[in-house]
Structure 1
Amino acid sequence: MNSRRFLACLADDYARLRAVAETDLDAAVPSCPGWSVADLTRHVAEVYLHKSAIMRDGAEPEPWPPADCATAAPIPLLDRAYAQLVDEFAGRSPQDSALTWYAPDQSVGFWIRRMAQETVIHRIDAELGAGAPFAPVPDDLAIDGIDELLRIFVAYAVAEYADYFTEILAESPGRTYRLRADGAAWLVRTGPKLFTVDDAADEPVDGAPAAVDVTVSGPPAALLRWLWGRERDGDPSEVTVEGPPEAVVELRRCIVTATQ
């Protein structure tokens, strides 16, 4: 996906989040314990304002968040924050330098991608809270979101902050996971201080598929929601999971720790 496509997806999901939030700001968000839809909306607004400040000032804003965010009405705050964010993006090239938490990519393009993915997940949160149907997630955005989660969040976090994963991975026997969405597949390997991600061809190599402990497969949007823990209770899952439960727990614990 290119930055123009990410910005288009960002616009769509901001609009969907805003529309859903307006229907029930007081609803509890099950995927974000302790938050209402209003809290969720305010959080997204603060994220937008934070990234705008980083790009504008070239440094982490302090103190944070601004005092007025706590008392501002959520929807107007979201609108103001989104306007600032897209204005900052419009004034820069994706290749321009920008401070990020991901050392290999210190660019505006990183934030364009991250804000698109941040927004699609949080509009799903809003839908869960308000009891609204899930709006479609385009396949390309969902596949990119899966890739970002596995590589940029989890694999990077395990490599850079291994101590946070010691309890999860120290006793791991070494496991292999194949994740499949329509048109894309990933091979994840875990072990003590290890979480690696490689592209996995859907077709067997040399006539024999790689041995795996767990296979997780489903449509791109459904797999994205499953990995982020955003499935709706009571709905039948579109994701098929094959493998021992303890191995699935190991994968999920790595994801949760990396995304907290």
Structure 2
Amino acid sequence: MEYSRFLDCLAADFARLRAVVPTDLRAPVPSCPGWTVADLTRHVADVYLHKTLAMREGAEPDPWPPKEFADEEPLALLDRAHAGLLDEFAARKPEDPAGSWYTPDQTVGFWIRRMAQETVIHRIDAELGTGQQVSPVPADLAIDGIDELLTVFVAYSVAGWGDYFTDILAGSPGRTYTVRTDGAAWRVRTGPGLFAVDGGADSGAGDDAADVTVSGPPTAVLRWMWNWEGAGEPAGVTVEGVPEAVEELRRCIVTATQ
């Protein structure tokens, strides 16, 4: 996807998020156990402010967050954070340097992509929490989101911080997974210390037999991949495979995205 496309998606999903959250700030968010919509709103604002400083200062700020954020009203904090994020994007080029936890990409473009994906997922969380219909995710954004989750989050985390996955993967017999949606497929291999991903858009990587197959429309598969405990399985997703293998994939995703 072009960076301009990510920014367009960010704008549309933020507008939806901002329209949804005021309807019931006290409602629980089923996809984020223990959070209310107000907590979700504050989290998105916190993320925007953190990434703004990562670009401005060239490194992710630590410690974080500042204590004064806790006293600011969630919607006001969200609006301020969003405005600051857009100002920072407007002042920089995608190829400009920016600090990030992802060593292979230390650019502003990494955060443009990441914030577009962050916003669409939390827009869905807000819709679930307020009981509103989940709006479709554009197919290109959903496919990119699946790819980002598998490669940037899980595969990179297992390779770089393997100790966090020892309890999940040390006893793995070595499994294969196919994640398939319209116009894209991924092949995942797991084993002790291993989470390898091949494929993506316009790929035939999911053609071979696998221990687990996850398939469905792009929006539904994206939601399944990010679906935190408590939200239920999104309609349209088919998951085939033994429960133990499905659980291994699930646990890797949860650990990588905590």
Of 52-61 and 1-10, the range deviating more from structure 2: 52-61
Equivalent of 1:228, from 219, 226, 233? 226
Contact kept in structure 1, 2:187 and 2:205, CA below 8 Å: no
CA offset at residue 128 of structure 1?
A: 1.1
CA offset at residue 67 of structure 1?
A: 2.6
CA offset at residue 166 of structure 1?
A: 0.7
Classify the secondary structure of the residue corresponding to 1:31. coil
How many residues are matched?
Answer: 257
Residue number in structure 2 paired with 1:211: 209
CA offset at residue 203 of structure 1?
A: 5.5
Classify the secondary structure of the residue corresponding to 2:176. strand
**Alignment-mate amino acid for residue 74 of structure 2:** P
In 2, the alpha carbon distance for the partners of 1:79 and 1:228 equals: 25
CA offset at residue 63 of structure 1?
A: 4.1
Residue ranges of structure 1 left out of the alignment (5+ in a row): none
Residues 1:152 and 2:152 are matched in the alignment:
yes
CA offset at residue 62 of structure 1?
A: 4.3
Task: Spell out structure 1 runs of 4+ moving beyond 2 A.
Answer: 59-64, 200-205, 230-237
CA offset at residue 23 of structure 1?
A: 0.4
| TM-score where L is the length of structure 1 | 0.94
**Structure 1 pair 212–12 and aligned structure 2 pair: CA distance change class (3 A):** same
Residue number in structure 2 paired with 1:241: 239
Contact kept in structure 1, 2:169 and 2:248, CA below 8 Å: yes
Residue number in structure 1 paired with 2:185: 185
CA offset at residue 245 of structure 1?
A: 0.9
Contact kept in structure 1, 2:185 and 2:204, CA below 8 Å: no
CA offset at residue 235 of structure 1?
A: 7.2
Deviations for 1:36-90, whole angstroms, at most 9, x for unmatched residues? 1011101100110111111112233344222331111111111110000010000
Residue number in structure 2 paired with 1:128: 128
**Structure 1 pair 147–199 and aligned structure 2 pair: CA distance change class (3 A):** same
Of 177-186 and 68-77, the range deviating more from structure 2: 68-77
In 2, the alpha carbon distance for the partners of 1:233 and 1:108 equals: 32
Residue number in structure 1 paired with 2:139: 139
**Identical counterparts, % of pairs:** 70
Equivalent of 1:256, from 229, 254, 258? 254
CA offset at residue 234 of structure 1?
A: 6.7
In 2, the alpha carbon distance for the partners of 1:229 and 1:65 equals: 25
In 1, the alpha carbon distance for the partners of 2:47 and 2:116 equals: 12
| TM-score where L is the length of structure 2 | 0.95
Contact kept in structure 1, 2:224 and 2:233, CA below 8 Å: no
Classify the secondary structure of the residue corresponding to 1:199. strand
Q: CA RMSD in A?
A: 1.9
Contact kept in structure 2, 1:231 and 1:237, CA below 8 Å: no
Residues 1:16 and 2:16 are matched in the alignment:
yes
**Structure 1 pair 95–253 and aligned structure 2 pair: CA distance change class (3 A):** same
Residue number in structure 1 paired with 2:31: 31
In 2, the alpha carbon distance for the partners of 1:115 and 1:60 equals: 15
**Alignment-mate amino acid for residue 154 of structure 1:** V
**Alignment-mate amino acid for residue 55 of structure 2:** M
